Amino acid sequence: MPRYDARRIESKWQSYWDNHRTFVTSNEPQEGAQGKLYVLDMFPYPSGDGLHVGHPEGQTATDIVCRYSRMKEKHVLHPMGWDAFGLPAEQYAIQTGTHPRETTQRNIDTFRRQEKMLGFSYDWTREFSTTDEDYYRWTQWIFLQLYDTWYDADFEWTGPDGLSRAGKGRPISELPIPSGVTSEGDVAVRRYQDEHRLAYQLDAPVNWCPALGTVLANEEVTAEGKSDRGNHPVERRQLRQWMLRITSYAERLIDELENLDWSESIKLLQRNWIGKSLGAEVDFYVGDVTSTESQIMEFGPWKAARAEVGFPEHPGDLVLRVYTTRPDTLYGATYMVVAPEHPIVDHITTEEQRVKVETYRDIVSRKSDLDRTDLAKEKTGVFTGAHAMNPVNGEPIPIWIADYVLMSYGTGAIMAVPGHDERDLEFARTFDLPITAVVMPPDTDHDEPIGFVGEGTAINSGEYDGLPTAEFKQKITENLAAGGLGQLATNYRLRDWLFSRQRYWGEPFPIWHELDDEGKPTGLTRPVAADKLPVTLPDMEDFKPKGTPDPPLSWAPDEWLYATAEDGTRLKRETNSMPQWAGSCWYYLRFADNKNSDAFIDPAVEKYWLPVDLYIGGAEHAVLHLLYSRFWHKVLFDRGHVSTPEPFQKLVNQGMILGENNEKMSKSRGNVVNPDDVVSQYGADSLRLYEMFMGPLEQVKPWQMSGVEGVYRFLGRVWRMIVDERADDVTLSAAVQEVDLTDEQQRVLHKTIKAVTEDIDKLSFNTAISRMMEFTNVFTQEDVRPKFAMEQLVLLLSPFAPHLAEELWEVLGHAETLAYNPWPEYDESMLIEDEVEVPVQINGKVRAKIRVPVDAKPQAMQEIAESSDEVQKQIEGKQVVKVIAVPGRMVNFVVKG
RNA sequence: GGCCGAGUGGCGGAAUUGGCAGACGCAUCGGACUUAAAAUCCGAAGUUCCGAAAGGAGCGUGCGGGUUCGAGUCCCGCCUCGGCUACCA
């Protein structure tokens, strides 16, 4: 008695697909293919915990789209691989004394087993891991592209996509070298080029965790300023780091979101992250800080000189340059604040204030970014003793240092307008600094201008009084520019990307440092030749951090670490490694051509498969991964290596699956659902179907084990609708016969085909499943079930529950897989019913039901309604004011009395 | 604090975009089959009030207003929950 036996069916069909290479995809389209479709899941990190139920959520969705699209004769690319470098593997390795290569391999094996167990139609011949040498060879190669590129912001050009744009990443050899630099010689030219590369080095503050003995990425530091792993304190240190100049692409990263098929909220998230703001840079004269009188005397001539020479590129030591989005509040600037690290502090601090200033700077320098922002409630700062001259009215105003001004944004200095900025107001109140109102709020009930941060009308602003904010901004910016005192400026919150990590388990940089005669780095670098890639990770037993910021690779064997160039220069390798993001920045390209040993991807293959048509994954990657990938892709685009400006045309974020208690799943809450357990109890088809039936893909939704039971029962019903459960073998039920469908059955079938098809197109899988349940509820009640209808249902169900569908397809007499069988089609004419029941409302309340011809005109509907006894009873003796009839929908009588 | 998203039965969720609120599933209750149970099959069910019953009347999509013949859906004002972000001048 063959009951629905998921275990037997699933292993049978998984081997079938493997043995028949059912889902192996050629880069040559099959004959008659209806175009290509590249469907991608976000790159999983193979953690030691194995798959969690969030993985199959997005992956089932993409699998449904792929299986459906193949039946629609699309040429489908659907790959899977592993993002396997990274800190968790390394930490685990250190704790257990196992090499990360081993644990990573083990984790990958677990993940692969679990993915296969779920019956996803991946082309496994395209699988790779970011830790494979012939993968990271090309990660290094792309890094060298970044190294070899500078951004020409003014370059106008038309790309292979046919669109014109300004700004292009160009080969460093095309960088114009100023004659002053050329005359200084070769080394000066090289240093000048190095300053302009998209991959460059910088002394940058990093998150140093003494307990872990490593530097952490911002994402690895908790909101409390502790390490994500182990909860150890984290402090700041200045270290020489590799940076990627993503800020050059900020404008294009915003603009080119426009044509992407992404949700508005994700686009907004990216725009906010990039954080473009428009404002002005304004120069405040400082000069001789020891005497305010002489400052006032010097101010006039300085201003006059500026009117002559204009606004300089660098303000110089005696001028303080600020960035503001509100140049219209310039008259309200009563003091200035510079970041404690600002270089001008050394020039302007007076003798009396020096000790206080240095003490403050010292305290701040030892705080992490997070400590600094943590102190947000209490404003701190110190007066430098110096004053600057307000360029609009020549008033001397005091210059303070405070950690609420960040060196990394704008110019690292602000003009403080306490009257109209919350932070400045709080600071001014703390330190008793003057507050001036210069903006009148527009509505009169809001009569207190102090603390008003919106737009209004200018007051106390000399000749500008009475101007609306917007107009004032424009006018004063023009005037400042004319006087050489300011200029329009754009700023981004986005920072350049800190790209190096002091870790072992990552891609080595393909970079040599030149050494001088004493073996010290000269600061000059050279790339590893492309034909020498990859720079393989040296085999090291000891990769445990030593409590200093030296990366583990710095004690790699000398053969790896040192070399002599052909010109005799001694070279030392870069010993930092790349962050985990590196490998996931371009993996979607490699899937299209993972065996290529001549190029990261063949240009023709790239042109054929890219961009990714559908990309599904969690919203946690809405900014970082997606922004980094887009950046790399654009650099490759500019350099002519890819043909599309964007990698991911359509993006969908799946909603998080919560535990049964409506809380986020976590080990500590004990509400984690393990896919292995669900599959062993109900089978993969039930897990897949349940995850899709839970609710809309993009919505957050709680797990319910009883819901899995429900879809499992549904699959059992489908099984019994087609299979004779009382026979000894799996045979067709006697009720399934080669008969024509009745009109009613036709209608149900075609309605189901239409609904399921449209729902899949909309990624509305939960409703698609409920349609198939309705179909099943109708047909299980029939004593004779037309075989054709059963076949059609099996085809509709196959993307969702592919194992069961294949088994039933076989029972229905088909020798071959249904994976490439044409998708059922519906006939619109079959859907039409002659008559429909519509409600009759009296004053908007349903009082009766009538049957009308589907195509009945409003007038006819009204007449039918009026002839009904029930309606007569309701409107009797009342005055009918108006009748609204919507064809095929409803009739509404508006009555009085 | 800022931005984004969401509030519909006991629960997960539907609702052709302004037209019968609660599809489908879970849980619940009743029945059939069975010696019994499991499994399966059939059926009931938003809620309050009236009625012995068939049935009838009212109320119902977080709260308060509004637009409309008609609002879960549109507009205005709030409340609650979730996510992201956090001194960006």
Query: Could you tell me which of A363, A359, A92 has the C-alpha nearest to residue A230?
Result: A92
Q: Please give the pLDDT value at position A620.
A: 84
Q: How far apart are CA A23 and CA A173, in angstroms?
A: 45
Q: Is any atom of nucleic acid chain B found less than 7 Å from the CB of residue A717?
A: yes
Indicate the angle between helix axes A743-761 and A765-779, nearest 10 degrees.
170
DSSP 8-state class, residue A675: H
When computed from its CA atoms, the radius of gyration of chain A, rounded to whole angstroms, is 34
Q: Is the CB of A419 under 7 A from strand B?
A: no
Mean pLDDT of A785-790: 95
CA of A884 to C1' of B68 (A): 12
Of the candidate ranges A3-12, A15-24, A431-440, A441-450, the one whose mean pLDDT is the lowest: A441-450
For residues A34 and A684, the model is more confident at A684
Q: What is the pLDDT of residue A830?
A: 84
Per the DSSP assignment, residues forming a β-bridge with A577 are A501, A508
pLDDT in tens, A256-301: 998 899 988 889 899 999 999 999 999 999 988 788 888 889 999 9
Whole-number Å distance, CA A511 to C1' B85? 36
Closest nt by CA–C1' to A837: B20
Task: Report whether pLDDT(A374) > 70.
Answer: no
**What integer pLDDT is reported at residue A229 of this predicted model?**
66
Do the beta carbons of residue A521 and residue A571 sit within 8 Å? no
Q: Is the pLDDT assigned to residue A608 strictly greater than 80?
A: yes
Comparing A541 with A44, the larger pLDDT belongs to A44
**A618 CB-to-strand B distance under 7 Å:** no
pLDDT at A479: 95
Return the pLDDT at A486.
Answer: 94
Instruction: For residue A285, give every residue at least 6 positions away whose Cβ sits within 8 Å of its Cβ, in sequence order, or none.
Output: A295, A298, A299, A302, A303, A318, A319, A388, A389, A391
CA atoms within 13 A on the CB side of A215: 27
Q: What is the pLDDT of residue A446?
A: 54
Indicate the helix (H) or strand (E) that contains A186: helix A186-196
A361: three-class secondary structure by DSSP:
helix
Q: Is the CB of A433 under 7 A from strand B?
A: no
Task: State which residue has its Cα closest to the C1' atom of B68.
Answer: A844
Q: What gap in Å lies between CA A6 and CA A231, rounded to an integer?
A: 44
pTM metric for this prediction: 0.93
- Nearest residue to nucleotide B4, by CA–C1' distance, is A265
Residue with structure tokens 């020498």? A532
Q: Tokens 């960040």 appear where?
A: A406
* Chain A 619-638 contacts with nucleic strand B (CB below 7 A): 619-620, 623
Integer Cα distance of A328 and A452 in angstroms: 14
Percentage of chain A exceeding pLDDT 70: 96
Sorted by sequence, the CB contacts under 8 Å of residue A690 that are 6+ apart come out as: A678, A707, A708, A710, A711, A712
pLDDT at A546: 79
Q: How far is the CA of A666 from the C1' of B8 (A)?
A: 29
Q: What pLDDT sits at residue A218?
A: 64
Q: Report which DSSP code applies to A439.
A: E
Mark out the alpha helices in A37-183 (DSSP H runs): 54-71, 87-96, 100-117, 133-147, 179-182
Residue at the smallest CA–C1' distance to nucleotide B85: A273
Which backbone phi and psi does A247 adopt, to 5 degrees? -65, -25
* Mean pLDDT in residue range A442-465: 81
Residue A174 has pLDDT above 70, yes or no: yes
Q: DSSP assignment of A682-747, as one string?
A: H-HHHHHHHHHHSS-TTS-EE--HHHHHHHHHHHHHHHHHHB-TTSSSS-B-TTEES-PPPHHHHH
CA pair distance A298, A200, nearest whole angstrom: 40
- Point out the nucleotide closest to A493 (alpha carbon to C1′): B88
Strand B closer than 7 A to residue A446 Cβ: no
A486: left (phi over 0), alpha (psi -120 to 50) or beta: beta
Across the range A790-818, mean pLDDT stands at 96
pLDDT tens digits along A616-663? 998 888 888 999 999 999 999 999 999 999 999 999 999 999 988 888
* Distance CA A682 to C1' B43 in A: 28
Tens digits of residue pLDDT in A715-760: 999 999 999 888 778 889 989 999 999 999 999 999 999 999 999 9
Q: What are the structure tokens assigned to A403, written together?
A: 């950690």
Adjacent-strand bridge partners of A149: A171
**Does the nearest atom of strand B lie within 7 Å of A769's Cβ?**
yes
Q: E strands along A586-690, which residues? A: 614-618, 651-654, 657-658
Per-residue model confidence as pLDDT tens digits over A871-882: 887 777 778 888
Q: For residue range A689-705, what is the model confidence (pLDDT) as tens digits?
A: 999 999 999 999 999 99
Closest nucleotide (CA of A322 to C1')? B89
A202 touches strand B (CB under 7 A): no
List residues bridging with A82 in a β-sheet: A129
Is the CB of residue A405 inside 7 Å of nucleic acid strand B? yes
Those residues whose C-beta lies under 8 Å from the C-beta of residue A409, and which sit 6 or more positions away, are: A323, A491, A493
Determine the pLDDT at residue A220: 67
| Mean pLDDT value across chain A | 90
ipTM confidence: 0.94
A844 touches strand B (CB under 7 A): yes
Tokens of A225: 């300023």
Protein residue at shortest CA distance from C1' of B13: A695
Distance CA A607, CA A386 (A): 61
DSSP code of A290? T
Condensed to tens digits (0 to 9), the pLDDT of residues A72-119 reads 999 999 999 999 998 888 888 888 888 999 999 999 999 999 999 999
- Please give the span between the terminal C-alpha atoms of chain A, in angstroms, as a whole number: 69
Whether residue A850 has pLDDT greater than 90:
no
Residue A772's contacts (CB-CB under 8 Å, 6 or more residues apart) are A752, A756, A793, A796, A797, A800
Nucleotides of chain B in contact with protein CB (under 7 A) are 3-5, 11-16, 19-21, 23-27, 39-42, 57-58, 69-71, 82-89
What pLDDT sits at residue A375? 46
Q: What is the pLDDT of residue A316?
A: 84
> CA A801 to CA A12: how far, in whole Å?
14
The answer to whether the Cα torsion of A674, A679, A682, A685 is positive or negative is: positive
Q: Are A272 and A257 a contacting pair, CB within 8 Å?
A: no
